[in-house]
A and B are shown apart, each in its own frame.
Chain A
Amino acid sequence: MQRGYWIRSKPLYDSLVWQTPAVAHLVIAGGEGGIAVLKLFQQMYPKDPIQVLYTDLATANKNYSDILQQIVPEELELCDSEESLLNNLEQRLKDCTMGTHFYVAGSEAFMWHVLQKTRAAGVQDVDVQKELCGTLARPVYCVHCKTITRDVHHNVFPCSNCGRHLFVRDHFSRRLGAYMGVMVDAEEPGNIPQIEEVYP
């Protein structure tokens, strides 16, 4: 990012804080997002019903299922994959009513998958608390072959589907839940800038 320059589509993330008043709370986290859940439960927590959905992720450096099981006093459901967590979430959303607050933590790719589900249930992205945890790795959408590559750490990378070398932009699509990736050597094939790890 350049100083004094900001792309409006680049999402901002915060630290999870209980939102009150509310009728219920639903916390959804994956992989390193577990730390944000632990931090939430170190705050004074509200007396409304709380549900926590969590899954360990193979891509995470640290997972939290074991600790959460000991710490989370309320209804905790541990799922065995992101997919099963998303299915479980979809079911629970059907029973949620207005006044339920939503909290999500994990990598950017994980959070935006969750947000696709909450949005489909009529919850606006701005009304979901989001905390980015663990990695800055970006989900990147190849504007040429329309494939999303997850967990991109470098400024330039080969698309997982078409192999084009893509430059990762800051332009973020909320609908796709991914940053735009644009072919870097379209003008001059083979002229690829130095590849650096910028999203550790």
Chain B
Amino acid sequence: MSILNVRVAEIEQVTDVVKHFTLVEENGRPLPRFSGGSHVVVSMNINGRIHRNPYSLMGSPENTDSYHISVRRQEKSRGGSVFMHDGVKVGSELQITYPVNLFSLSKLGKKHILVAGGIGITPFMSQIADLNRLGDDYEMHYAFRSAEHGAFVEQLKQMCGDRLHLHIESEGQRINFQNLLSNQPLGTHIYVCGPEPMVNALLLTAKDLGWPKTHVHSEQFLAPPIGESFMVQLAKSNMEIEVPGDMSMLEAMEEAGLEPDFLCRGGACGRCEVEVLECDGALMHNDHYLSDAEKASGNKIMPCVSRARCQKLLLNI
């Protein structure tokens, strides 16, 4: 996977838990262009171990001088976001992948409804820039816990004008998905990014109201869950490796010197899929990619987020 070397040019504390990083190419060259909704995967060397976290690009896709990402500090996670907050300073060098878009705007859409919860606002910042440039019809619905948690509200007001609808939970404002999804004109597409219960509630409402799946887009990058350690045998590379409790299988394979494929590292895109040749226990599927039937059949696993509880697990990789 191609890598870009970048330097942190600026860090802004946006709310008490969100920091915004401006990244520039290490030699000041222009960065690759991207489309609204793209993300990059940032590699971090934390005490000799490489962590890789996906972050959405927030800036305008027109701007190739710098990339913008925002990171919410997640205390109860495996350390990537805490490292970005505490370990990364102006001038720090980071490695990122080329941008990949798993959350792009539908070119066929007549109207776009964007729905963000909390830090889920980030992919929309670049999409809004695209929508403004194309002159497309859209609404931006942004829900957050309380006024202090509303990251980028001023910037959004400027970008969206009266297309922006804020829903501040502490003031009793919640998005009513039933109302939002009813009576929308044909050709409307809806996009959601935010905490899992919010995304799931929206997906369910859309289904109940007969929205075709092709018009409902969601982005949910899961952080790889922490679990018990287990052993995995890799048939093609003829290795047996341990997956520690705080590492994903994908990370354990990378640690062992392999270069498995990935795009999102969050169980969404399907790129990392591997065939399970043998498993004498239970696979713990944590992804959003495989269908329930595929999960039940136990022939495939997404090593970026899923784990196993077994004595023997043999993968075709």
Task: Indicate if B16 sits at the interface (CB-CB under 8 A).
Answer: no
Q: Given the complex of chains A and B, what is the CA–CA distance between A19 and B181 in angstroms?
A: 18
Question: Is the Cβ of B212 less than 8 Å from the Cβ of A121?
Answer: no
Contact of A122 among B110, B181, B211 (CB under 8 A): B110
B150-193, CB under 8 A of A: which get 1 and which 0? 00000000000000000000000000000001111111100000
Question: Is the Cβ of A97 less than 8 Å from the Cβ of B183?
Answer: yes
Question: Is the Cβ of B186 less than 8 Å from the Cβ of A123?
Answer: yes
Question: Is the Cβ of A99 less than 8 Å from the Cβ of B109?
Answer: no
CB contacts (< 8 Å) of B187 on chain A: these are: 121-123
Task: Indicate if A101 sits at the interface (CB-CB under 8 A).
Answer: yes
Interface of A is mostly: loop
CB distance from A123 to the nearest CB of B (A): 6
B residues with CB within 8 A of A: 108-110, 181-188, 207-212, 214-215
CB distance from A92 to the nearest CB of B (A): 10
Question: Is the Cβ of B214 less than 8 Å from the Cβ of A100?
Answer: no
A148-179, CB under 8 A of B: which get 1 and which 0? 00000000000000000000000000000000
Q: Given the complex of chains A and B, what is the CA–CA distance between A126 and B210 in angstroms?
A: 15
Task: Indicate if A17 sits at the interface (CB-CB under 8 A).
Answer: no
Most-contacted residue by chain B among A93, A101, A124 (CB, 10 A): A124
Task: Indicate if A81 sits at the interface (CB-CB under 8 A).
Answer: no
A residues with CB within 8 A of B: 19-23, 93, 96-101, 119, 121-124, 126-127
CB distance from B222 to the nearest CB of A (A): 28
A23-B210, A93-B186, A100-B186 known; 4 new pairs, CB 8 Å cut-off, are: A98-B181, A98-B209, A98-B215, A127-B215
Question: Is the Cβ of A98 less than 8 Å from the Cβ of B214?
Answer: no
CB distance from B14 to the nearest CB of A (A): 34
Question: Is the Cβ of B185 less than 8 Å from the Cβ of A98?
Answer: yes
CB contacts (< 8 Å) of A22 on chain B: these are: 210
Question: Is the Cβ of B209 less than 8 Å from the Cβ of A23?
Answer: yes
Question: Is the Cβ of B186 less than 8 Å from the Cβ of A97?
Answer: yes
Q: Which residue of B lies closest to A20 (CB)?
A: B210
